[in-house]
Amino acid sequence: MPENTPARRSGGEVERSTGGGRNRPAVRDSLLPAPTQGFGVTFAQIFRKVTTEQYPFEPKVTKPRYHGRHVLNRHPDGLEKCVGCELCAWACPADAIYVEGGDNTEDARFSPGERYGRVYQINYLRCIFCGLCIEACPTRSLTMSNDFELADDNRQDLIYTKEQLMAPLLPGMEQPPHPMRLGDDEKDYYLRAGDRA
């Protein structure tokens, strides 16, 4: 029999020689038409468990370490943790963060230390939620929450300002500017009691 010529076998299968030697296996084609094979896949899926999520009506629960919307944190007395160092903006691969630092004065103190983030913006049209800004922050001012509902129909509203990113004031906190309440030095804010030298 010449090479590549189909040969009928018992059971309705067609055996075709692949040629090139005796040790190669024969390729077997099914006599079932292609639509029947496709319906077989469909029918196999019918009896699986349904995993439909009722998203708008039942909020999706995210994992604890989910990277969502950013939050600028505060110290226990209400002063801002951000010192305006701009390291988060330098670390951002998408160039989504814009920071302008400002100088603290004794009359207007927004954070412990010499500087604070006067202007802070995150452009969520560019942000890829990679978390590199969180790793770069030396004061743990910037963290990510589990909030993922950021869709909007206005592009300007997706550029979040400092006021939108700041953590809310908790009981016992005071709205800045105000003098330092946790100690006379910024080390009292950034070092634990056991680590002070």
Number of other residues whose CB lies within 10 A of the CB of residue 70? 24
Provide long-range contacts, Cβ within 8 A and 24+ apart, for 183-189: 186/112, 186/113, 188/112, 189/75, 189/79, 189/112
DSSP class of residue 168 equals P
Domain borders along the chain are 7-46, 70-195
State residue 34's pLDDT score: 75
State residue 195's pLDDT score: 46
On the 0-12 / 13-18 / 19+ scale of CB atoms within 10 A, 65 is exposed
State residue 190's pLDDT score: 80
Cα gap 149→112, rounded to integer Å:
33
The answer to whether the beta carbons of residues 162 and 72 sit under 8 Å apart is yes
The structure's pTM equals: 0.69
Which tokens sit at 137? 């922050």
The answer to whether the beta carbons of residues 111 and 178 sit under 8 Å apart is no
Which tokens sit at 92? 């951002």
Task: Indicate the fold that domain 70-195 takes in CATH.
Answer: Alpha-Beta Plaits (3.30.70)
Contacts of 125 (CB under 8 A, 6+ apart): 96, 155, 158, 159
Digitized pLDDT (tens) for each residue of the chain, 197 residues in all:
555 555 555 555 555 555 555 666 555 566 667 777 778 888 888 888 888 888 889 888 899 899 999 999 999 999 999 999 999 999 999 999 999 999 999 889 999 989 999 999 999 999 999 999 999 999 999 999 999 999 999 999 999 999 999 999 999 999 999 999 888 888 888 875 444 44
Cα gap 135→143, rounded to integer Å:
9
